[in-house]
Amino acid sequence: MIEHLIESGTSKAMHDLYGATVDERLIQIQKTRQEFEGDYTLVVFPLLRTSRKGPEQTADELGKYLVDFLPEVVDFNVIKGFLNLTVSDVYLHSFFVENKNSAYFGRKKAGTDEPVVVEYSAPNTNKPLHLGHVRNNLLGWSVSEILKASGRNAVKVNLVNDRGIHICKSMLAWQKWGQGKTPESEAIKGDKLVGDYYVKFDKAYKKEIAKLVESGMGKDDAALQAPLIIEAKEMLKKWEQGETETRDLWQKMNSWVYDGFDVTYNRMGIDFEKVYYESETYLLGKKLVNDGLEKGVLFQKEDGSVWCDLSDEGLDEKLLLRPDGTSVYMTQDIGTAQLRYDDYHPSEMIYVVGNEQNYHFDVLKIIMKKLGKEWAENIHHLNYGMVELPEGKMKSREGTVVDADDLMDEMVETARKTTEELGKFGDFSAEESGLLYEMLGLGALKYFILKVDPKRTMLFNPKESLDFNGNTGPFIQYTHARIKSVLRKAESQKIDFRNESKNLNPLQSKEKNLIKILHDFPQTIQQAAENLSPALVANFAYELAKEYNQFYHEFPMLKETDETLRASRLALSEFVANTIKTAMGLLGIAVPERM
């Protein structure tokens, strides 16, 4: 790629002109700003210590050298300490001809090196997936696919939190008030049914707390002494002891939830190569904790609880086992990390979890190191910001979350209304229209969430996400359909554009801009993989679609009388469509062939 050529050329220039070898990190290349002439800009300031000359003189000398040394660079200009380089049409045309028909353009085939394990989703089996899970799932899946496209061997895994006090709350509520109701009897998804009982527990629990407070008990003590929470804790102990009735109820209700999760995952386009369950990993975690206790790495308090002292790291003490011997979240994460390492020996373990868990993963890494796990250094927390709504934050216990299934239904319905109002669909059958609305609605949802840098908290606006004229999924999807329509018309007119002459036509500015954007796609994938940020791919797709629409309006291809020029522009259009499809595919977004 041209950036590498400029980088190596600059390195050689520094040696030949100034007799020095410079650190490659000092060679900074970026896109030339639109208001200046040129394609790529070399920042000269970091090189002045070596050249021992002023910025303008150094830039001028480097520019002349690169024009002479690199046939790909045909001109330059200097703006203060910035060297703006112009790339030759010959280079861009060669790039276009060599890559336009490549099925793998921009992507590398996945390697066979040590894998990168990406954990995402991590739902609890006491409630359905909600809007927060949607961002988690979309981010984790897309990061995995981008890593694969960059040549990494990525493995997608899920950890289902299928045990613990929160699960027992739903179970206890169903025991008390369920009256034998099932997903089938209520015609409801199993995860929703179980989630309803989680909400019922919380409401009844709050009433008990309020009653105890009215009797004179402090609020904190009331929260611990309320009969419902005592029963739930007793149920958790029975579960850990393997009591048959409790385990049978747990298996039955969890099976309802898994069936519900599968429906949501399938519609969202989310998959995993391996699913771990907390109920299968927490025992290994307890074993590792007990091993650490025996080795003196951990310590036990008088009440029997086990802790890790993190004071040397500037932190506090961390509970790992409760006084009654039951485990906490950290315990199962210790076991899961070990099991995952044993399964894959990964070069990196990426946890896609919200930024409210930053402390948790800092502590996990420290504890694993204290337990003698050298690979703990490879634990990486991909922390992302929360998804907020105009109405405020969501709360699962109060039943105020935005259900993922309901959200997808709403997006598809909004896509239907918007599309029909704008008339942006052809003579479709009812079935074809339904598929299109599904594609647009879910595309709008996924793109709106993934175009935002993962670390930023975001405000989700369904209506804004379906704007056909903004930085949205439907705008990019419509651009793809527009190109495919042009290509179908060309084929119906028997225009052969896939075997056009390799003769170089002078590139117009819009053609050159398109090819330059396409040229950036492989590097965009690599940068997105390095930064674990699908937003880079999303915004690349938008810039490409936006530039193509300007090109489309400026050059009516099918009316072009020069056959070679017409074929070249149609081939460029197909190259753009294929690249849009690939980029959107890395975000989990399908693009329509027609609208």
Q: Is residue 506 part of a domain?
A: yes
15 phi/psi in degrees, rounded to 5: -70, -45
Is 328 in the same domain as 357? Answer: yes
The answer to whether 475 and 545 are in contact (CB under 8 A) is yes
Distance CA 502, CA 584 (A): 29
Is 376 in the same domain as 441? Answer: no
Is 224 in the same domain as 343? Answer: yes
pTM over 0.85: yes
Is 429 in the same domain as 322? Answer: no
Domain boundary among 87, 107, 141: 87
Considering only CA atoms, which of 413, 406, 374, 372 is closest in space to residue 389? 406
Q: What is the DSSP string of 138-182?
A: HHHHHHHHHHHHTT--EEEEEEEB--SHHHHHHHHHHHHH-TT--
Q: Is residue 33 part of a domain?
A: yes
- Cα atoms found within 13 Å of the Cα of residue 13, Cβ hemisphere only: 25
Decide: helix, strand or coil at residue 525: helix
Q: What is the pLDDT along the chain (595 residues), one digit of tens a residue?
A: 788 899 999 999 999 999 999 998 999 999 899 889 999 999 999 999 999 999 999 999 999 999 999 999 999 999 988 999 999 999 999 999 899 988 889 999 877 789 999 999 999 999 999 888 999 999 999 999 999 999 999 999 999 999 989 999 999 999 999 999 999 999 999 999 999 999 999 999 999 999 999 999 999 999 999 999 999 999 999 998 999 999 999 999 999 999 999 999 999 999 999 999 999 999 999 999 999 999 999 999 999 999 999 999 999 999 999 998 888 889 999 999 999 999 999 999 999 999 999 999 999 999 999 999 999 999 999 999 988 776 644 444 444 568 899 999 999 998 998 888 877 666 788 898 999 999 999 999 999 999 999 999 888 887 788 888 889 999 999 999 999 999 999 999 998 888 755 555 667 888 899 999 999 999 999 999 999 999 999 999 999 999 999 999 998 889 888 888 898 999 999 999 999 999 999 999 999 999 8
Q: Is residue 284 part of a domain?
A: yes
Domain boundary among 87, 102, 131: 87
Q: What is the pLDDT of residue 469?
A: 85
Length of the chain: 595
* CATH number for 61: 3.30.1360.70
**Secondary structure E strands in 246-356:** 274-277, 299-300, 306-309, 317-321, 348-354
317 phi/psi in degrees, rounded to 5: -85, 145
Q: How many domains does the chain divide into?
A: 3
Domain boundary among 43, 72, 87: 87
Q: Quickly count: other Cβ atoms within 10 Å of residue 254's Cβ.
A: 23
* CATH number for 271: 3.40.50.620
Is 366 in the same domain as 430? Answer: no
DSSP 8-state class, residue 308: E
Q: Is residue 394 part of a domain?
A: no
Distance CA 189, CA 33 (A): 53
Q: Is residue 143 part of a domain?
A: yes
Q: Which tokens belong to 282?
A: 């927490």
Considering only CA atoms, which of 3, 54, 12, 61 is closest in space to residue 30? 3
Helix (H) or strand (E) holding 411: helix 404-422
Question: Please, what is the angle between helix 534-554 and helix 473-492, to 10°?
Answer: 50
Q: Is residue 396 part of a domain?
A: no
371 phi/psi in degrees, rounded to 5: -80, 5
Distance separating the N- and C-terminal Cα atoms of the chain: 35
Is 210 in the same domain as 273? Answer: yes
Residue for token digits 């793109």?
447
The answer to whether 189 and 260 are in contact (CB under 8 A) is yes
Q: What is the pLDDT of residue 287?
A: 95
Question: Please, what is the angle between helix 534-554 and helix 521-531, to 10°?
Answer: 160
The answer to whether 577 and 480 are in contact (CB under 8 A) is yes
Rg (CA), the chain: 29
Is 145 in the same domain as 284? Answer: yes
Is 341 in the same domain as 450? Answer: no
Is 410 in the same domain as 531? Answer: yes
Q: What is the pLDDT of residue 395?
A: 44
Q: Is residue 95 part of a domain?
A: no
Is 375 in the same domain as 415? Answer: no
Is 299 in the same domain as 409? Answer: no
Q: Is residue 442 part of a domain?
A: yes
Q: What is the pLDDT of residue 81?
A: 87
* CATH number for 472: 1.10.730.10
Is 440 in the same domain as 330? Answer: no
Range of the domain at 12: 2-87
The β-bridge partners of 354 are 384
